[in-house]
């Protein structure tokens, strides 16, 4: 019988799935964590997790779905995300559209990609406002449980006493409940610096009304660690990768802080 060479076999050929996604070190380098070598070192040190698991060298990620964290802080790895810091002038409305034809904050920043304000400032309030198309960060920044500090300078009627400042610090009974402890200091005879981490409607104005010192002018001067005295009213700039990471860290700190 002639010998035959059969190509059929009962064992299917072994196929190695094509790796998908982008190399993690490349993604990390792109968002500014350092050179690829530095990013490899971060991975080797076990400081990078993907979906909660410590990443190994050579790991690939799908930036649309995977959650990448450095030291437990999410890294904004999706391309196309923009984050602006605007110094909102008085009289501009914090919405993406206004039916009354008033000026709106999104008209002060580039039209594309479309961004939206994170939280809101009253039309009469000036100062720092973040605008972004990063819905996840926006949600976490505004969620009450994350409690990122916001600092305001309020010019008020009269001169608040030390007792009044203590009341502001300890919490004020408002019609929608007591305010959480705040920081309050008098920085000029009629100027209060108030730092709160809640984001209730017209909260600073209502707190100062409640203690008998109505607000004449209100300026937000800090969000988390973000401040910028060089931005004139109406001016904006893009946040740096470090600043976006700083916000993530402020959220993480807020989340782990004991509730007051
Ligand atoms: N508190 C206020 O009363 N107004 C603002 O715009 C922001 C905080």
How far is the CA of 95 from the CAs of 88, 221, 223, 239, in angstroms?
Answer: 12, 20, 19, 20
Q: What is the pLDDT of residue 78?
A: 66
Indicate whether 3 belongs to any domain. Answer: no
Residues 36 and 159 in one domain: no
Percent of the chain at pLDDT exceeding 90: 55
Q: Is residue 5 pLDDT above 80, yes or no?
A: no
| CATH code, 203 | 3.30.70.1560
Atom 2 (ligand 1) nearest CA: 202
Residue 159 belongs to domain spanning: 149-223
Give the mean pLDDT of the chain.
87
pLDDT digits (tens, 9 = 90+) for 23-59: 998 888 877 677 788 889 999 999 999 988 999 999 9
Q: Is residue 259 pLDDT above 60, yes or no?
A: no
For the entire predicted model, the pTM comes to: 0.75
Active site residue ranges: 122
Under the banding of pLDDT at 50, 70 and 90, the label for residue 6 is very low
Residues 155 and 138 in one domain: no
Residues 122 and 249 in one domain: yes
Count up the domains in the chain and report the number: 3
Indicate whether 164 belongs to any domain. Answer: yes
Q: What is the pLDDT of residue 136?
A: 81
Indicate whether 98 belongs to any domain. Answer: yes
Ligand 1 and 90: CB distance under 6 A: no
| CATH code, 140 | 3.30.70.580
Residues 174 and 52 in one domain: no
pLDDT digits (tens, 9 = 90+) for 198-255: 889 999 999 999 999 999 999 999 999 999 999 999 999 999 888 988 888 888 777 6
Residues 91 and 217 in one domain: no
| CATH code, 39 | 3.10.290.10
- Range 152-179 average pLDDT: 97
Q: What is the pLDDT of residue 177?
A: 95
Residues 139 and 252 in one domain: yes
Measured in Å, residue 130 CA sits from the centre of ligand 1 at: 15
pLDDT digits (tens, 9 = 90+) for 142-158: 877 777 899 999 999 99
Measured in Å, residue 218 CA sits from the centre of ligand 1 at: 7
151 vs 101: which has the higher pLDDT: 151
Residues 27 and 156 in one domain: no
- Range 107-111 average pLDDT: 93
Residues 240 and 138 in one domain: yes
């Amino acid at each position: 019988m002639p010998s035959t060479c059969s190509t059929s076999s009962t064992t299917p050929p072994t196929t190695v799935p094509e790796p998908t996604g982008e190399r993690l070190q490349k993604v990390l380098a792109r968002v500014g964590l350092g050179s690829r070598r530095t990013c490899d070192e971060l991975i080797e040190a076990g400081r990078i997790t993907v979906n909660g698991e410590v990443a190994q060298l050579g790991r690939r990620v799908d930036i649309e779905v995977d959650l990448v964290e450095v030291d437990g802080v999410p890294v904004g790895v999706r391309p196309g995300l923009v984050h602006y810091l605007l110094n909102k002038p008085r009289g501009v409305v914090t919405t993406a559209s206004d039916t009354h034809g008033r000026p709106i904050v999104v008209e002060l920043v580039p039209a594309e990609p479309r961004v939206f304000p994170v939280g809101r400032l009253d039309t009469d309030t000036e100062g720092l406002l973040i605008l972004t198309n990063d819905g996840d960060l926006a949600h976490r920044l505004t969620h009450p449980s994350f409690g990122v500090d916001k600092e305001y300078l309020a010019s008020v009627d009269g001169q608040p006493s030390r007792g009044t400042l203590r009341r502001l610090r300890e919490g004020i009974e408002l019609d929608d409940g007591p305010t959480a402890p705040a920081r309050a200091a008098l920085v000029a005879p009629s100027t209060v610096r108030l730092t709160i981490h809640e984001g209730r409607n017209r909260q600073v104005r209502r707190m100062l009304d409640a203690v008998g010192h109505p607000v004449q002018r209100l300026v937000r001067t800090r969000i988390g660690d973000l401040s910028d005295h060089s931005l004139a009213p109406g001016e904006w700039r893009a946040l740096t990768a470090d600043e976006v990471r700083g916000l993530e860290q402020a959220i993480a700190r807020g989340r782990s802080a004991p509730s007051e």
